[in-house]
Chain A
């Protein structure tokens, strides 16, 4: 290959195949590595343990939680199991709460419960104390779930906070906020929406987004991504 051919291919790749990257080593990147190396050298954990937990944090694709609820919607016996022995039901969708990473659970817990919504009862989960979340089945928590804003306000003004996510519940629906803690984790089993009759487990799992299983959204045919909180434009924007 001539040099000009090489240059052409190289430029072609950059123009069409690669998104830009931050081409600089930041202090924060260096700090993360330094802390990790020092902790490993002091025997707090091994590099292999760290790698496994990192891989676990990067899990992608539909959550096992979506699969579990879809299965429960289709199979009344499995639903009974999910509501009475959630840890056992999780094993049927491939999640062992005692060893989700192969190195044990990422943080301490004792119990996991699935909260069933009804036409007159809606659940939403929070960890008012910190950021406890059913990670083995639902993956990493969203950034907003960790914020004091969500943690403090959802327990006091749940309807107001839910409306900020675009979820307006009728007055006749009771809202129950379940507070997680280091020993107890929860997840919501929403009502199966109308318009999904005859759907397969795969189709149902697609509309069971993370936010539906936290309880800040409801599953809806055609909506397969998590809802972005409603942002209104400022009425009187500040101008320079």
Chain B
């Protein structure tokens, strides 16, 4: 049964959290030893590129806001996610909250990318 959506939460992210594809579960399933998922450094690159771009006069999300919200969301809404999944989902949450991206386009893009990767 799906959990009732909490206020200020996003359905698209809740669905991902509920499907629970977290790295510890994946490594156990496939007998993998890597401590971090392969997308982690790409996420680092994404955060760095975003921080750099947001040093402009009207930043959509500053470095400090991003990190503060990551801490806050990791300890509340996404408390059941391990690191770095909580870092990634918190970033998505911050971008959705500010309207940098919208939920509908994110949902469509997720479907499109999965189709592309599974082709």
Binds B, one of A2-10, A20-28, A68-76: A20-28
Cβ 8 A contact of B37, one of A29, A49, A131, A182: A29
The reply to whether B92 and A35 form a contact with Cβ atoms under 8 Å apart is: yes
The answer to whether A19 and B32 touch across the interface, beta carbons within 8 angstroms, is yes
Q: List which B69-100 residues lie within 8 A (CB) of chain A.
A: 71, 75, 83, 85, 88-89, 91-92, 95, 100
Residues in A with CB closer than 8 Å to B16 are 27-28, 31
**Secondary structure call for the B interface:** helix
Q: Which residues of B contact A27 (CB under 8 A)?
A: 16, 19, 21, 110
Asked whether A53 lies within 8 Å of B49 as measured between CB atoms, the reply is: yes
* A130 in contact (CB, < 8 A): yes
> Assuming the A-B contacts A31-B89, A49-B52, A108-B55, are A25 and B114 also in contact, with contact meaning beta carbons closer than 8 angstroms in the complex?
yes
Compute how far the CA of A70 lies from the CA of B72 in the bound complex, rounded to whole angstroms: 39
**Complex contact A35–B95 (CB within 8 A):** yes
| B3, chain A: closest CB distance, angstroms | 16
| Chain B residues with CB under 8 A of A21 | 30, 32
Residue A106 at the B interface, CB < 8 A? yes
Contact yes or no, B71 A45, CB < 8 A: no
Contact A32 B46 (CB under 8 A): yes
Task: Determine the distance from Cα of A32 to Cα of B60 in the docked complex, in whole angstroms.
Answer: 18
Q: Is A56 on the interface with B (CB-CB < 8 A)? A: yes
Which residues of chain B come closer than 8 Å to A50, judged between CB atoms?
42, 45-46, 49
- Contact yes or no, A45 B52, CB < 8 A: yes
Residues of B within 8 A of A143 (CB): 83
Residues 207-235 of chain A: 1 if any B CB is under 8 Å from the residue's CB, otherwise 0? 00000000000000000000000000000
Q: How many residues of B contact A (CB 8 A)?
A: 53
- Nearest B residue to A130 via CB reads B67
Whether, in the assembled complex, B53 has its beta carbon less than 8 Å from a beta carbon of chain A, the answer is yes
Q: Assess whether B26 is in contact with A57, with CB atoms less than 8 Å apart.
A: no
Contact B113 A35 (CB under 8 A): no
CA distance A76 to B73 in the complex (A): 48
Asked whether any CB of chain A lies closer than 8 Å to the CB of B1, the reply is no
Residue of B nearest to A101 (CB): B48
Interface residues of A (CB under 8 A from B): 19-39, 42, 44-45, 49-58, 101, 103-104, 106-108, 129-131, 140, 143, 146, 148, 182
A-B contact pairs, 14 of them (CB 8 A): A19-B33, A25-B114, A30-B110, A32-B39, A32-B88, A34-B109, A36-B42, A38-B101, A45-B49, A45-B50, A55-B45, A103-B52, A148-B75, A182-B63
Please give the residue numbers on chain B whose beta carbons come within 8 Å of chain A beta carbons, in ascending order. 16, 19, 21-23, 26-27, 29-33, 37-39, 41-46, 48-55, 60, 63-64, 67-68, 71, 75, 83, 85, 88-89, 91-92, 95, 100-101, 105-106, 109-110, 113-114, 117-118
- 11 further contact pairs, Cβ within 8 A, besides A24-B29, A26-B21, A35-B101: A19-B33, A20-B32, A22-B32, A22-B38, A28-B37, A32-B39, A35-B88, A38-B109, A44-B54, A49-B52, A146-B83
